[in-house]
Amino acid sequence: MSKRGRPPADDLLTPAEWTVVEGVRHGLSNPQIARRLSVSTDAVKYHVANALQKLGFSSRAQLRRWPGIRRASALHRRNAVMPEFVALNAIGQISRSVTNVARAEAWYRDTLGLRHLYTFGKLCFFDCGGTRLFLSENESTPTETILYFRVEDIHVAQSRLAERGVEFLDAPHRIHQHADGSEEWMTFFKDPEGRPLALMSVVAPA
């Protein structure tokens, strides 16, 4: 007789747990993750608790700094090369907060003439001659503008910068998978004044 129910996941975490963990590693609260995923806060709490238990962690802070990569990710299948020195060159993205993303989208597109890339809920992206402008709606106090530096291998870059004393706030984590299978990864760190900066990497499908 065949067993009923969901088949076991071929990974440390289930796909739903991975999605929630990536939200935690991106610095989101449970209510924020719930809104993004259109699920209940209780569902998010359940997945966080399961992930903590499976990984042997006791706190959310440990989960945020955990460098795990899901098996289904293109990054998991790519062999990393560890260069002696990592240099940051091109700025791939700049983020700004706005109080009304629909109004900002229309202004940056129609008034400034920037090329609109895509909008996800309260997140909006434009192309500025190869550098991406990321607008996010924040109805309260505007957040700090963040520069995102492109790197080839985000785990290698983080490791080398950490060796030089750079303080990272989280582990590299996948924030989005595009329709073509390419993945966007990010990790955040502090400048000497404690302001946020970020590394970003786009991983092509294997």
DSSP 180: T
On the question of pLDDT at 179 being above 50, the answer is: yes
On the question of pLDDT at 35 being above 50, the answer is: yes
Task: For domain 15-64, give its CATH number from 3.40.50.880, 1.10.10.10, 1.10.1040.10, 3.10.450.350.
Answer: 1.10.10.10
On the question of pLDDT at 85 being above 70, the answer is: no
pLDDT band at 74 (very low <50, low <70, confident <90, very high): confident
Residue spans per domain, the chain: 15-64, 91-203
What pLDDT score was predicted for residue 21? 95
* Residue bearing tokens 């190869």: 130
pTM for this predicted structure: 0.74
On the question of pLDDT at 7 being above 60, the answer is: no
Span 162-176, mean pLDDT? 91
On the question of pLDDT at 126 being above 90, the answer is: yes
Q: Which helix (H) or strand (E) holds 174?
A: strand 173-177
Comparing 1-10, 116-125, 143-152, which segment has the lowest mean pLDDT?
1-10
Comparing 47-51, 87-91, 92-96, 119-123, which segment has the lowest mean pLDDT?
87-91
pLDDT band at 141 (very low <50, low <70, confident <90, very high): low
On the question of pLDDT at 1 being above 60, the answer is: no
Provide the 3-class DSSP secondary structure of residue 128.
strand
Distances (CA, A) of 66 to 23, 101, 125, 156, 171: 13, 32, 28, 15, 6
Comparing 62-76, 121-135, 180-194, which segment has the lowest mean pLDDT?
62-76
Task: For domain 91-203, give its CATH number from 3.40.50.2000, 3.40.640.10, 3.10.180.10, 3.30.2320.20.
Answer: 3.10.180.10
> Which ranges constitute the DSSP H helices of the chain?
15-25, 30-37, 41-55, 60-64, 101-106, 154-163
For residue 193 the two structure tokens come to 């004044």
For residue 160 the two structure tokens come to 């080398």
For residue 150 the two structure tokens come to 């492109």
